[in-house]
Copies of this chain bind each other. A is one copy, B any other.
C-alpha cells in the first residue's frame, strides 16, 4: 500500500491535494489479508499496553458526516480486548460542560496509563463546527489551537500516545452515502435534514479542517489523513498507523512485564521455601 499521510509538524494543509481514494495499485483481496494480519498484531499490542500499564493510548477520530467514524470504531473494537478500551462520543455539550472551558469534558475522558480511549469526535469540534457555524466569536475559537496543543503536549509528557485521524472522503462519496441512508430503513435513524444542511457548508468545513490539522500536527500528536472513500482501505490505513506507532514501544512493555514476572516468581519461591522450612 502507499505511505501513510502522517502530519508531524505544524504546516499548511490542502485537503484537495490529498487522496480520498486508495492508490490504483491497491488490491482489495491483498488489502484485506494485510488488515487481518495487522489487526492480529494490534490485538497483541493493545493487550501488552494494558498489562504493562505504562502507556495510555488516545485515538481521536474526526471527519465529515458519513466519513465512517462509527465503522472505524467497530473495526478497531473487533481487534481489541474490550476491558482495556473505552469509546467516548462527544456530542453537543451539556449545560454543565458549556459552563466550563472546552477542554474540561475532554480531559476527564483521557485514558489512564494502561488504557485506551477512542474519541468519536473530540475537542476538535470546538474549532470546527463552532467556527463554521459561528457558535463562538473568532477571538474565542482562534485561541483554542494553542490550548489544544498545550493539552496534547501535557499528555505526551505523561505517557499518553496521541494519534489523530481525519477520515477524508470526497463530496461525491458523501452524497452517495447520504442517499444510501435514505434508502435503507435500518439506517433511517441516522438521517436528518441537518446532514444535508451541513453539507452546504462543505467548503467551510474543509477550510476549518485544514487549519485544525495544520495547526495542531505534532510529532507527539500526529494527524493521519486517511483516504476514506473505500471502507476497507480506510480500516487498513487506520490499523497500520496505530500498529506502527505502538510497535516500537512493545519491547519496553515486554521488559517491564518480564521484570514483574521475575519478581512474582521470586516471591513465590521464597514463599515455598518458607513453607518448607517453617
Contact = CB atoms under 8 A, between A and B. Distances in A.
Interface of A: 53, 56, 96, 99-104, 107-108, 110, 112-115, 140, 143, 147, 150-151, 153-155, 157-158, 160
Contact of A108 (B107, B115, B157): B107
A154 B158 contact: no
Contacts of A114: 99
Nearest to A97: B112
B107 A103 contact: yes
Contact of A158 (B53, B56, B101, B150): B101
A140 B158 CA distance: 9
A113 to B, nearest CB: 5
Contacts of A147: 150, 153-154, 157
A150 B143 contact: no
Contact of A102 (B112, B143, B158): B158
Contacts of A101: 110, 154-155, 157-158, 160
A125 to B, nearest CB: 16
A104 B107 contact: yes
